[in-house]
Structure 1
Amino acid sequence: MASKKNSNRYLKLKSETSQKTEATKHLNFGVFVFVLILAYLVFIMISFAIKEKVNYTIAELGTLSHSNTFTGLVIRNESVTTADSAGEIRYFLAEGARVRNTNTVCGVISNADYVALLDDEIFKANQKLDSSDASFKDSYGYLQNRIKNYVINQHNKKFDHTYTVRKQLENDISDIRNTVIVQQRSLGLSDSSNIDMLEKELGNSISMHKATSSGLVSYLIDGMEDITTESFEISDLGRTPKIQDTVSKSNISVGQPIFKVVDNYLWHIVAEIDPESAKLLENMNYKTIHFVEKNIEIVAKIHVFTEDNKTYIKIEADRMLNEFLNERFVDFRIIHENHQGIKIPESAIVRKTFAVIPAQYFGYLSSQYGVYKKVVSEEAPGDSTIDFTSTRLFLKVDDFVYVPISDSIQIGDVLSFTDSDSMVTTEFIIEKTEDLDGVYVVNKGFADFKFIDTTYKEVDYRIVAPYTPYGVRIYDRIATEGITTTEYQTIN
């Protein structure tokens, strides 16, 4: 009986030991997997940390212009109005507003205190008139609903619809106001008559100044408004504007300029130009003009003339005057040609040396491109072997290919080619090299040289062809600073 009990105890102990061993094996495997994953994550983090950060730009289509920049004098048809009395001035129109002949622009108040009193009395009379009208609340509610409906529904309308609604509201207010006044007068009430009397007295107390012609109103006077296309002299290009902002003055004296009206039909620019530009403009009547500061382009009529052995251009424009209403001198460019393509910063350009070899010597072996190169044996002088050397093809022009000069491809190397039909072997010695411009494309996480075909360049940018074989393509990511980037450098 005791022997059987000992046997059971032994089996139980053996089973427990076996279970512990299995558990230990599972634990050791789990720890191993955890350590493996942790090591992989650490490797990824270290690799990411040691990658150099390279700024890049996206290769996008752009335009560069062959142009020359000049500074020109703006000549407009301007009429200046001066004050015929002294006092406080009030302006009724905004800068640049369009006016018609006889439109009131401003008024000069000789007795400001008296006018302020009249304003206050008119305001009180209007309030009394509104409160006496039983339909005023209904009219006010009607206008509120009009505005509310516009706010709710305006997202379905074009922006210019705002001006239509504004005009409609102004007409509604005017109609309501006139209705109240007519009702007052028909009832023989004195409130409307009192307002008429006060407004008439107010008008008599203000010296109104009207526009003498149609155009754009401006309150900046620079003393050069007297220049016209007929009176212009070359010396006018050296004059300095003396700007007066009439709006900033609260009081005005007799004879002081208070505003000017600019004819908004034709305006001109006169500037001195260089002989090269003059030659490019020969026999031309119209040219594209680009205004540098405002980044605006217009097509304008031009006339080139010579005076005192110097060449000048007169530009005649019939649009965009409002953009230059207060400019007396402007910087502009005469656009001779527009060049379109991929626009790349000049700082991204790098230069790489290539060996130029016949295309027949460039081949394919075991999933790799390269050349067969004659290699002299170091152990047995005079003996040589033909080895396949892998390399990349960067450009193919006619019957020649461009492969990069490297440790494996050098000037003086002998290449071998065996014709598969005739089995005749020929050799070619690398002698000719050529430097090609390119950029480093970083799409794949490393700097990869790509050839570019430049069509036009300036100081800071150049235009390259967008569809060049083996070259840069639209939306490639390009290293901005090519000089600080090395080929095959990993990119963060």
Structure 2
Amino acid sequence: MKKYNINWCGDVMTKDKRKQKRKRRKKLRIGLVIIVMIYLSLRMLPTFCITNAATVVVEEGSIDVLERTKGIIFKNEVVYRATTNGKIIFNKNEGEKVGLGILIGQVIASDKNHKIAEELNAINKKIEELSNKIKTQEIFSNDIEKNKIFIDEKIDTLRKSILEGNFIKVNQVVKELKLDLDKRSDLFGKNSLIANDLDKLYEMRKNLQNRLKNAKENYYSKNCGLVSYTIDGLEEIYNLKGLSKFTPDKFRIIESNIHKINNELEVSSGEPIFKIIDNYKWYLVVKLGPNSGIDRLSEGKYVYIKFLEKNEKIKGKVYKVNKGSDGYIVIFEFDSYLYKFYNERYVDVEIIINTYSGLKVPKSSVVKRDGIDGVYIKDISGVVKFKPVRIIGQNDKYVIVDTGSKIKVGDRGKIKININGKDEKVYTISIFDEVFVNGKKVKEGQIID
């Protein structure tokens, strides 16, 4: 006999039907499990992404708003040139500060020295020759002997004439004796011909020795400043004469021809040998485009300039702003630190136009939501939340946002923002908040593991 089962609703079910029903239920359960798994996967996906998103802690800080450009250094430079050929000898060190009338160097005229030395040697030989002749009485020896005899004879005649009372004869002999004595003095004595020649030679030798001693040109400082032995050939181009009228069309980088003058170098007449740079005032000229921060560089304003190669930040004054058809020339004036740049001409600089202070966050953190600037933070429960911010300054990496500290005491931590045309006070970020570095990768309401 065939068996029949009756289900709860009274249907008679065969064995095959029961098997089919169990299969359907199994498929239904598998389908439900798959749906749940898909749901959970989708639910966990944003959590997984946010878990790996980087955050930073909000801190107080400051940023500099910069304009990076190339500049030209203008200085008051006086170039000194050689007035003769010779070897240069320096008395001062490179970069040393000097006053007026200081001996900086000498050019030893070697060609003149050679000629003077030859003349001096010839005269010394002549002096030696004449001196030896006087000592040995080789000259005029016969004349001297004859003169001696004549003088002796005149003296004897003079005695006899005096004894005889022949005074006419006495007078005549005295005159003759005087002539003989004068001749003796000329031949051999202080005023002799040889002595006269020697006196002339001695005088000539003295003059030559003085000329030899002075056969060098001395170079004294005619202005105060720093001594430099580096000449770049641009001293006359980038001088202070037309600085205030310098315009953008004149701004160009001219190739320099740097000439280093070393001690004991042979130099030619007319060649530059050193320069003295006035260290009281010096200037930096830059060219900025019309879309730069030129509106914040008014004449008389003080700003900081960072010289990139030397990593030096120096305070300078905006001396002059000249407008041109393709931009602006800004001239900065400095009154110190030239000793670090006195041999520089072209420099890469950053002009620090403004410095902003407040809460500092990465620029990549800031997003716009409904037209409002803000950042996403991770609250204490791990939920991502959006907080509005008011940017007061930014550079290429960071933004500085308002702390809300200027709002009255009851609303501290709030900022004013425009929502639907109305100014409203809303809470902004505060110090120690965790801000997501990449604000575009997160959404409000996401949960963090």
| TM-score, normalised with respect to structure 1 | 0.43
TM-score, length basis structure 2: 0.47
Q: Which has the larger radius of gyration?
A: 2
